[in-house]
Structure 1
Amino acid sequence: QPPSRPTTPKEADLNRPERMGKLKDAMLQVCEALAYIHGHGLVHRDLKPSNIMVDDDRQVRLMDFGLAKFLADDAGITADGKLVGTYRYMAPEQILGEPLDGRADLYSLGVILYELMSGRPPFDAKTPHELWRQVLETEPPPLLALNLHGDPQLARVAHRLIRKEPDDRFQTAEEVYEALSE
């Protein structure tokens, strides 16, 4: 039971039924696309809002596979040791330079969903170092504390997707799809 206070204009806008329907539909399509690429042994490694395009027919397309890697390839760092990906959406294991699998993309999807539901990222800092510290060491504010009238099911999915340990997240895009379809 969320605390009772009037809905803020921002929350009213974030929670518009039409927007929530489009959001859920787009998330389901992203899950289908991730299931496809993960099923073919690829990890996107740079999932972020600007790499998710929606056309006039509301068909979602994943873009920019420039950082995608086959799972059989090496870890998530480039040959010269530089981190790749966009910091705000990077999974903890990507920040640490550990080998990646599809769960890193699912973490990024969780950050996107958190932002879409709250109007802000789960972690926010002025420098990459401070952002990485937050991602690795702190818990984000509960979504339903930022958006009291947000969809509890979507909030649960987002929080599970952004857990620190890959084993604590959804394990496949298909599992996320099922959770969003409930």
Structure 2
Amino acid sequence: MTTTRRRLTGSLTAGAAVLLLALTGCSASATPPAADDSATTKPTATSPAPSPTTSSATPQQSFLDWLAASREPNADVACAYLSDALVERMLAEMKASGFPVSDCAEMTNVTAQAYAATGNVAEVDIETVSEEAQRAELFVTYAGGSCGTVVLEPGVEHWIMTEQSKEQC
């Protein structure tokens, strides 16, 4: 198991926090993996990274690219990083919470606007729990205490977050 840590500092918009929380189903407790503070990066809006099997794209970078796109918001790019099953689950969770969104683009835009309006600032730590050719698992922790696993699978152009992701704290 390879463990690395990246730190992302900056404002966290609704697209980032709500989508990460919506990525996940609640569980009783969690103990985040041990980590260090070795790298700090800021997200930038970019086009989807090349295929993880043919380039230096990583699951961590795919998560950061999704985070940046969800902050802008750039719904087309942000939604491209989410599996269909994950989007379905997130839409159902948002509707159950009183947000009647109909698709991924609307969900991304609504959540980004909500966080932009509140000016939330957060720090995000990303740890690699495991990384193999067909699956990666990250442990993501926000400064506010929210944390969870983000499970990704390689896609055609970048890694895709799957419905196996879940909130742990």
* TM-score normalised by length of structure 2: 0.27
- Name the structure where helix makes up a greater proportion of residues: 1
- Tell me the TM-score normalised to structure 1 length: 0.25
- Higher RCO (CA-CA < 8 Å; seq separation 6+): 2
Larger gyration radius, structure 1 or structure 2:
1
Which structure dedicates a bigger proportion of its chain to strand?
2
